[in-house]
Amino acid sequence: MTDDDPRGEASVTVVRHRPFALDLTRPLGTARGEIRRREGFVITARRGGDESGAVGLGEATPLPGWTESRDACAAALGDLEAGNMSEPVPGVPDAESTPAARHGVSLALADAAARDAGRPLAEQLAVEAGVTATPADAVPVNATVGDGGPAETAAEATRAVEEGFDCLKLKVGARDVDADVERLRAVRDA
């Protein structure tokens, strides 16, 4: 690591990826259709010029229609493994055309830097950003409530709150505005 290359992106020696697929416990309705399964790649990256560098983990889970396709992500990661990248930062795919691949590689590099430093990733990112506060031990997440009629949406929101979520993200836009307002009112009243 150097001051102008804190995560060692320019000295990546090994990047690998392997596919994964996860079925959602419940289908997620969105304005662009229903999502039942997420597919992506687990990425490993080793920094440094030898085998002594730590191996970091990253994840690239493209969502066609929002980011690149799974095939485009795989191609970018495959090019990286083959040494065919020509991006401004060696070893990191282009953010414009393959944001999921770039995220996954960047995350793996950041994780490797943290492991090299003997720190949790959150602490390493705070150090790199010059933040002196101690990072949280946990990060709260929201429950995503997909598209459905008012009663279904309210039931799904209620179930999420009963499961311990205190923040909900409701998918809107698949219906007209009045229908979405009706769904939101049903959740509020539930």
Same-domain pairing of 42 and 71? yes
DSSP-assigned letter for residue 188: H
156 shares a domain with 85: no
In whole angstroms, what is the distance from residue 164 CA to residue 58 CA?
27
Residue with tokens 């939101």: 184
pLDDT at 8: 45
CATH of residue 25's domain is 3.30.390.10
Residues 22-49 pLDDT 10s: 999 888 888 778 899 999 999 998 876 5
Give the tens place of pLDDT for each residue, 37-80: 999 999 998 876 567 788 999 999 998 888 899 999 999 888 77
The answer to whether residues 117 and 155 belong to one domain is: no
Question: Is-above-0.85 flag for pTM?
Answer: no
Tell me whether residue 111 is in a domain.
yes
Strands 55-60 and 12-30: unpaired
**Residue 1 within any structural domain of the chain:** no
Residue 2: the pLDDT is 40
Same domain as 159, residue 109: no
pLDDT in tens, 127-161: 989 988 787 878 888 999 988 899 999 999 999 99
Q: State the virtual CA torsion across 83, 87, 92, 96 in degrees, nearest 10.
A: -130
Number of domains in the chain: 2
Q: Domain range holding 165?
A: 143-189
